[in-house]
Structure formats: C-alpha cells, structure tokens
C-alpha cells in the first residue's frame, strides 16, 4: 500500500540562520535513503517544513513495504583459501557450488547471487530518521534531560505516520505518535492528526504556517504592503527576511517609530543596529535616506497592537542611544591620533602589527597612485588613516562598519573628500557583486591593501587550502582582478606584486612567493571569466600566455570568442598546434629573419608573401590594442597555411631547405600568438 509519510520533530527554538538548511537537508537525506531502499514510488514528492520549533517532511507515494529484490554480492578472490570461500557462501545463505565467478578490478572473484526480502517501513524508518538527523550540518550538539539523545536543540515530540497509521518506533529517545502542537500562544491543546496528508492544513488552522517558503513569501508581501502605505521602501532586506522567516510561525507586521533626532547619526549605524540586533526592517524615502520608521515582524496577530509597538519602540531606543554615544565619543579623537595605537594591534604573529602593515600599504598606495597619474599624497594619506577606525567604539561594537565609519570620521576631521572616500572604499569589493572603489585614489588604496594581504600571508605559508581561507585571500585576489579589469587600470600585475613584495625590504620576499601570488590572482580571474560565460578554451587561450596587463584580458578573450566562431578558426588552431610540435624539437636556426629568395614551391612563396603583407597588419592592430581586428586579419592566413601543409614537407632532408621552412613557421607562430595562444582552441572540450 502507498500513502503519504509524515515525520515531524517538535523542538525548542532552532537556530534561525540555519533553519532553512537544516530542513532541506533533513528532507532530502531521508527521501534519498527511502528511495535507495525501494520505498518510494516513481511519482513520489518530498515537501520540507520548518518553523522555529519543528522540522518536518512529507513524502507522498511511500510504500508500506519495500519490494523483494535480487543482487550480486562480491566475495573473495578465486585464489582465496577454501575456508574463506565457504564462510562467504554460508554468510549469504547459499552453497559453495552455487557461487559464480566474475572478473573484478584486481582479478577474478567469487560472487553470490542472493534474493533479498523486502522490509516493512516500520522496521527501518526510525533508523533512517536517526541517520538523516546525524547528517545535518550542525556545528554543535547538546544533550538534555537524563537521556543520551543529542541534537542541535532539545526534542520534545515525534510524529511518524504513514497515511492514517502511526509508524511505531523511537527516535532520540522519544516514542512516535500522531499528536503535534500549533502556535504557542494562538492555539489551544494538542492537534491529533487523523492522516499525514492533513498535516499542513491542520497546522494552518492552528495559526502555524509550516512551509518556510510560503511563510517567507507572506512576510515579504506584508512588509511591502506596509512600506507602500508609508510611501517608503525597504532597501536591501533579503538576508534579514530569511532570518525573520525562521523566527515566526504566524507572521504579522506592525509599524514602529523612533525619535528623528537619532538621524544625526550615520544611517549605516542605525540600520545595522535595527537589523542585526532587533531584526527590524528600516524604511527609506525615495532618495534612499532613512526615515524615522521601521517595520516589526511579530509572531502574534493582535487586534490592538499599541502595547506591542510601544514595547518595541522602547527596546530600540537604548540601541540607538548606544550608537549615538559611540559616534559622539569617537569624534572627540581625530583619526590620525589613533594611528600610533595600531602598533599595539597584532596583524599576524609573524608579520608584526597593524601599524607595520599600514606603513607598507601607504608606501604601495603611493606608488600605484603615481603610476595612475593620481595624487600620490592623498592616496598615502588615505592608506595611513584606513585602519584607524578599527580602534573606535563604533567599529568595536559593529565590525561590519569598518571603513564606513572611517569615512565619516575623516570628513569630520576635515580630511579631503577623496581621502575619506578612499578609506571607505578600500575594503571593496566586500562580497560577490559588490561595488568597486571609484576613482584612481580609492583604487590605488584598495589594490595596495589587497596586494599586501596576499603577499604577506603567502610569505608566512598562509595560502588558502581546500575550503579554508581564514584571511579572505580569495576575495582579495578576485577584488584585485575586478578592479584592474573593470576600472580599466593600465597596470602590470607582476610589477604590482613585486612592488608589494619590496615594501618588506629588498629581496625579503622570494620570487617563488611572487609567482605563487600571480598564479593565485590568475586563478580567480579564470573564475571571473567563467562567470561571464566564456569557455575554458577561450579563457586558456589568453591566460596561458601569463598576461601582465590584466585590464586587457577581457578584450582579448572577447576577441578570441569572435575568432573562434569563424570557419577559419578550427583549421588555424590545429595548424598552430602542429607548428608548436614541429618547432619544439627543431634545432636553432637564424631566428625569424626570413628573406626574399627563390622558394622551392609556390606554396612556400605564398606563405612568405602572406607573412610580409598580413604580418605587419596584425602587429599594427596589436599595438593599437585592436585585438578583434588582429585575429580577423589572422583568419586570412587560412588558405596559404593549409596549402603549405598540404604540399610542403617541412622536415626535408636538406638542412638548408628544412631550416628555411622552419623559419617560415617560426615567423608565422609569432603572428598567430600575438593576441592569444589559438592552439588552445583546438583542444577538445
């Protein structure tokens, strides 16, 4: 018999930031296990449910019993002793004579063909639920009561039903049943489930929206409706929405207000304290400025919410007072007066203090600014002040505001606007899709900060390994690549890395470390280009040449993409690969200095003439950074190159003849690979 399976755990409040993940992993793991064991029909559907106090899964088309099956069990090699063979046969309930032989990965082995009887769902479900719970991504588990059960939070109820039947069993020390609970305050008594299929509707009647996604959609709808009533917007709220959806079972939204006098504090401080500490949604006007209103998502629907709103307004006031206090106190001391105190802040036990780092970044930012034709003194000043806000009360309370508060305090100290802006922007991009620093001064400081981080941490063996990246070096490397590419900065990456290394002193950072940093940035650039939908071959055609000017890479890859779509591309890519192989083992000759002569064949003469006419065109286009035009000109080599390889024996017996033909190919290879190594386009994807 097939019916819907329900498994629900009633718990104490689950961690809100991981609730959705816990729910999805629990449902998918249990469903996959049942599917593997043959308990699920082809049309079976799995639905995950999660509220602050429950994890549940509904799986339709679940069989009461798994089907009988047959399978082969691999045994010992045929060379094994008789005792081992007979033991294997006995274990699988068949005679030794019934064993078959089969070729295994390391030779011939015995195989037992056995019949496996199906199992009842009730026999295996408790164990499968326990297994699924152990598979959840839980960093810390806890015990409760006098039992041995362990989970992320204490569990107080268990429902396991198949259709209208209770699946008897024990999980985490609890016996299964068919009783659950509704909303903590807006429902009364236990809910007795007559059938698994009525689970969601019964909870809804008891004021619980059990489906996480539906609850999230409902909250967003309510938030947008209230914001519209106030002619306001919600700003960036998606991350908080996920968290709030994990904090309520029956959402209602109310509008709160705070004293507009607090708006004298930078709005980033107020926004962060409301969102992070109170889980409120601040409202913004049409210009994106904070208003004196915020939205409260409550777990209660109240006819007269004045007391609830008043209570929340009283709670938020001290938080905003704290923010105002920190802001006013911090402004009593200039940023520059905090710089010397960075000597007491350890950056890394092998790399010294934050002050040591600031001095390196300052020196490097000045060099980069000069290379960009920007005001080096302002870049150095911004770099000097960039980390000073780490010692302020506001950043101590809210580390997420580093750089942001530095900008406000720098403006208060009458620093130039460009300096203040660079202080805030030097952390950018902070995450995928974040804005880049704007202007050469901000870019110079941001690049210097990220380059110093890479070179310094690599020099002490701190390069990322596997998933671990405690210093955020992948983010820093991607930031360098994005700034150079998207801001179109005409800087050479190897020189930037060398300049960063030289701030430690002449020769203190070995070439191997510098090369590793270059490769690391290039690897992040590969990811960046893949995200822009370029193929691996197109990317490698350019990056395999280890380009120095990263800002030109995107133009070159785009040109390769256009070239690769031409009918001539495949033939020329294959020819380039062939030329590489011919030249790899060829003895040295007079180099690329080919001259007019009486060629042995018209095909050699035609290739020579093409080199003399098309070659200078390609060089000219390349010099003017016209990469697409250079490759389109290269495409005109197809006919003379194809004819040359069809009719000419390159490795002739006559050394003079062989060398002149190799010189032709050397010259051709130089033109072919100006923009990119087009032989990479011949590699099978």
For residue 85, the enclosing domain spans 69-116
Q: 164 and 61 share a domain?
A: yes
Express each pLDDT in 115-155 by its tens digit.
778 889 999 999 999 999 999 998 888 888 877 889 999 99
Contacts of 61 (CB under 8 A, 6+ apart): 2, 4, 40, 41, 42, 43, 44, 45
Q: Pick the most confident of 116-120, 154-158, 675-679.
A: 154-158
In percent, the amount of the chain with pLDDT more than 90 equals 75
The answer to whether the CB of 630 falls within 8 A of the CB of 621 is: yes
Among the ranges given (198-207, 221-230, 512-521, 651-660), the one the predictor scored with the smallest mean pLDDT: 651-660
Q: 88 and 59 share a domain?
A: no
What is the pLDDT, as a whole number, of residue 132? Answer: 95
- Total domains in the fold of the chain: 5
Paired tokens of 42: 């082809």
The answer to whether residue 556 is domain-embedded is no
pLDDT at 113 over 90: no
The answer to whether residue 536 is domain-embedded is no
- Give the residue, 188 or 23, on which the prediction is more confident: 23
The answer to whether the CB of 143 falls within 8 A of the CB of 159 is: no
The answer to whether the CB of 476 falls within 8 A of the CB of 454 is: yes
Q: What is the sign, positive or negative, of the torsion defined by CA atoms of 193, 198, 204, 205?
A: negative
Confidence band of 589 (pLDDT split at 50, 70, 90): low
Residue where a domain terminates, one of 179, 205, 231: 205
Express each pLDDT in 602-657 by its tens digit.
998 899 999 989 999 999 999 999 999 999 999 999 999 999 999 889 888 888 88
What is the pLDDT, as a whole number, of residue 684? Answer: 62
The answer to whether the CB of 678 falls within 8 A of the CB of 576 is: yes
The answer to whether the CB of 30 falls within 8 A of the CB of 5 is: no
Rounded alpha-carbon distances, angstroms, from residue 197 to 4, 201, 256: 6, 9, 39
Q: What is the sign, positive or negative, of the torsion defined by CA atoms of 371, 376, 380, 382?
A: negative
Express each pLDDT in 208-220 by its tens digit.
999 999 999 999 9
Phi, psi of 104 (to 5 degrees): -100, 180
Tell me, letter by letter, the H, E, C secondary structure of 354-400: HHHHHHHHHHHHHHHHHHCCCCHHHHHHHHHHCCHHHHCHHHHHCHH
Among the ranges given (197-206, 390-399, 641-650), the one the predictor scored with the smallest mean pLDDT: 641-650
Q: Residue 332: in which H helix or E strand, if any?
A: none
Three-state SS for 127?
Answer: helix
Q: 87 and 149 share a domain?
A: no
Q: 597 and 500 share a domain?
A: no
For the domain that residue 342 is a member of, what is the CATH number?
A: 1.10.3210.10
The answer to whether the CB of 634 falls within 8 A of the CB of 661 is: no
Residue with token string 């002739």: 652
What is the pLDDT, as a whole number, of residue 73? Answer: 84
Confidence band of 594 (pLDDT split at 50, 70, 90): low
What is the pLDDT, as a whole number, of residue 151? Answer: 93
What is the pLDDT, as a whole number, of residue 189? Answer: 86
Distance CA 237, CA 64 (A): 45
The answer to whether residue 538 is domain-embedded is no
DSSP, res 341: G
Distance CA 353, CA 491 (A): 29
The answer to whether the CB of 405 falls within 8 A of the CB of 392 is: yes
Q: Average pLDDT, stretch 172-195?
A: 93
Q: Residue 204: in which H helix or E strand, if any?
A: helix 199-205
The answer to whether residue 41 is domain-embedded is yes
Inter-helix orientation angle 602-623/655-672, to 10°? 30
DSSP, res 233: B
The answer to whether residue 74 is domain-embedded is yes
The answer to whether the CB of 299 falls within 8 A of the CB of 248 is: yes
The answer to whether residue 415 is domain-embedded is yes
What is the pLDDT, as a whole number, of residue 540? Answer: 94
Task: Locate all alpha helices (DSSP H) within 250-305, ordered by sequence.
Answer: 267-272, 278
pLDDT at 102 over 90: no
Q: Residue 104: in which H helix or E strand, if any?
A: strand 100-104
Distance CA 94, CA 88 (A): 9
Q: Average pLDDT, stretch 481-501?
A: 97
The answer to whether residue 435 is domain-embedded is yes
pLDDT at 582 over 90: no
pTM comes to 0.82
Residue 538 burial (CB count, 10 A): 23
Torsion of CA 466, 472, 476, 477, to 10 degrees: -10
pLDDT at 592 over 90: no
pLDDT at 510 over 90: yes
Residue where a domain terminates, one of 330, 359, 379: 330
Q: 30 and 57 share a domain?
A: yes
Q: 298 and 160 share a domain?
A: no
Tell me, letter by letter, the H, E, C secondary structure of 394-463: HHHHCHHHCCHHHHHHHHHCCCCHHHHHHHHHCCCCCCCCCCCCCCHHHHHHHHHHHHHHHHHHHHCCCC
Express each pLDDT in 254-302 by its tens digit.
999 999 999 999 999 999 999 999 999 999 999 999 999 999 999 999 9
Phi, psi of 27 (to 5 degrees): -65, -45
Distance CA 209, CA 217 (A): 11
Helix, strand, coil fractions of the chain, as percent rounded to 5: 55, 15, 30
Termini Cα distance of the chain: 48
The answer to whether the CB of 40 falls within 8 A of the CB of 227 is: no
Rg value, the chain, Cα: 35
Q: 354 and 499 share a domain?
A: yes
For the domain that residue 642 is a member of, what is the CATH number?
A: 1.10.730
| DSSP string over 128-193 | HHHHHHHTS--S--EE-TTS--EESS-EEEEEEEETTEE---EETTEE-BSEEE--TTT--SEEE-
Q: Residue 59: in which H helix or E strand, if any?
A: strand 54-63
Phi, psi of 558 (to 5 degrees): -60, -40
The answer to whether residue 311 is domain-embedded is yes
Q: 354 and 452 share a domain?
A: yes
Paired tokens of 462: 């701190």
Q: 381 and 493 share a domain?
A: yes
Residue with token string 């629907």: 301
Arithmetic mean of pLDDT over the chain: 92
Instruction: Report the candidate in 188, 222, 221, 223 with the shortest Cα–Cα distance to residue 205.
Output: 188
| DSSP string over 652-678 | -SSHHHHHHHHHHHHHHHHHHTSS--G
pLDDT at 231 over 80: yes
What is the pLDDT, as a whole number, of residue 648? Answer: 87
Q: 490 and 398 share a domain?
A: yes
Q: 369 and 503 share a domain?
A: yes
pLDDT at 685 over 70: no
Paired tokens of 67: 């089907």
Paired tokens of 402: 């580093």
Residue where a domain terminates, one of 178, 205, 232: 205
Q: 286 and 389 share a domain?
A: no
């Amino acid at each position: 018999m097939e019916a819907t399976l329900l498994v629900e755990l009633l718990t104490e409040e689950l961690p809100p930031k991981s609730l959705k993940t816990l729910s999805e992993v629990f449902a998918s793991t249990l469903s996959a296990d049942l599917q593997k064991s043959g308990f699920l029909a082809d049309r079976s559907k799995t639905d995950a449910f999660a509220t602050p106090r429950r994890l549940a899964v509904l799986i339709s088309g679940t069989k009461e019993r798994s089907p009988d099956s047959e399978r082969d069990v691999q045994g010992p090699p045929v060379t094994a002793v008789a005792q081992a063979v007979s033991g294997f046969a006995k274990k699988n309930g068949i005679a030794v004579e019934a064993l078959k032989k089969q070729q295994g990965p390391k030779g011939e082995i015995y195989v037992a063909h056995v019949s496996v009887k199906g199992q009842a769902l009730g026999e295996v479900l408790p164990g499968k639920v326990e297994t699924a719970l152990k598979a959840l991504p839980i960093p810390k588990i806890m015990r409760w009561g006098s039992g041995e059960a362990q989970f992320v939070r204490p569990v107080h109820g268990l429902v396991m039903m198949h259709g209208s039947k209770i699946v008897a069993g024990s999980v985490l020390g609890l016996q299964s049943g068919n009783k659950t609970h509704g909303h903590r305050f807006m429902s009364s008594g236990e809910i007795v489930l007559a059938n698994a299929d009525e689970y969601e509707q019964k909870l809804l009647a008891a004021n619980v929206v059990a489906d996480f996604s539906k609850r999230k959609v409902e909250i967003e709808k309510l938030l947008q409706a209230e914001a519209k009533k106030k002619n306001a917007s919600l700003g960036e709220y998606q991350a908080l929405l996920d968290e709030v959806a994990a904090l309520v079972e029956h959402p209602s939204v109310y509008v709160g207000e705070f004293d507009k006098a607090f708006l004298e504090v930078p709005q980033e401080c107020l926004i962060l304290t409301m969102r992070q500490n109170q889980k409120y949604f601040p409202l913004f006007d049409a210009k994106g400025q904070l208003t004196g209103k915020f939205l409260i998502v409550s777990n209660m629907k109240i006819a007269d919410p004045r007391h609830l709103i008043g209570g929340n307004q009283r709670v938020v006031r001290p938080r905003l007072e704290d923010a105002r206090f920190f802001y006013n106190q911090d402004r009593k001391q200039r940023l520059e007066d905090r710089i010397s105190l960075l000597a007491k802040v350890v950056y890394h036990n092998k790399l010294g203090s934050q002050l040591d780092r600031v001095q390196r970044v300052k020196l490097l930012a000045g060099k980069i600014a000069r290379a960009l034709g920007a005001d080096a003194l302002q870049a150095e000043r911004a770099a000097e002040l960039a980390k000073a806000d780490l010692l302020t009360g506001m950043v101590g309370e809210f580390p997420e505001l580093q750089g942001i508060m530095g900008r406000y305090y720098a403006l208060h100290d009458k620093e130039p606007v460009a300096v203040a802006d660079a202080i805030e922007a030097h952390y950018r991009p902070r995450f995928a899709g974040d804005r880049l620093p704007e202007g050469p001064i901000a870019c110079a400081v941001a690049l210097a900060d990220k380059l110093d981080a890479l070179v310094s941490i690599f020099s002490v063996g701190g390069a990322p390994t596997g998933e671990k990246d405690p210093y955020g070096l992948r983010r820093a490397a991607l930031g360098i690549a994005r700034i150079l590419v998207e801001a179109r900065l005409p800087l050479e990456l190897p020189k930037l890395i060398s300049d960063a290394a030289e701030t430690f002193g002449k020769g203190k950072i070995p070439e191997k470390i510098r090369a590793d940093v270059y490769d690391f940035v290039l690897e992040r650039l590969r990811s960046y280009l893949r995200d822009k939908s370029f193929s691996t071959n197109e990317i490698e055609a350019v990056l395999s040449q280890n380009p120095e000017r990263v800002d030109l890479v995107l133009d070159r890859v785009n040109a390769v993409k256009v070239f690769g779509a031409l009918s001539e591309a495949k033939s020329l890519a294959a020819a380039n690969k062939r030329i590489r192989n011919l030249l790899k083992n060829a003895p040295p000759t007079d180099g690329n200095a080919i001259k007019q002569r009486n060629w042995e064949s018209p095909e050699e003469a035609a290739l020579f003439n093409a080199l003399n006419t098309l070659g200078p065109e390609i060089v000219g286009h390349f010099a003017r950074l016209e990469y697409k035009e250079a490759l389109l000109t290269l495409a005109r080599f197809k006919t003379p190159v194809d004819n040359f390889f069809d009719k000419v024996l390159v490795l002739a017996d006559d050394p003079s003849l062989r060398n002149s033909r190799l010189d032709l190919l050397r010259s051709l290879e130089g033109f072919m690979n100006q923009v990119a190594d087009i032989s990479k386009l011949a590699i099978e994807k």
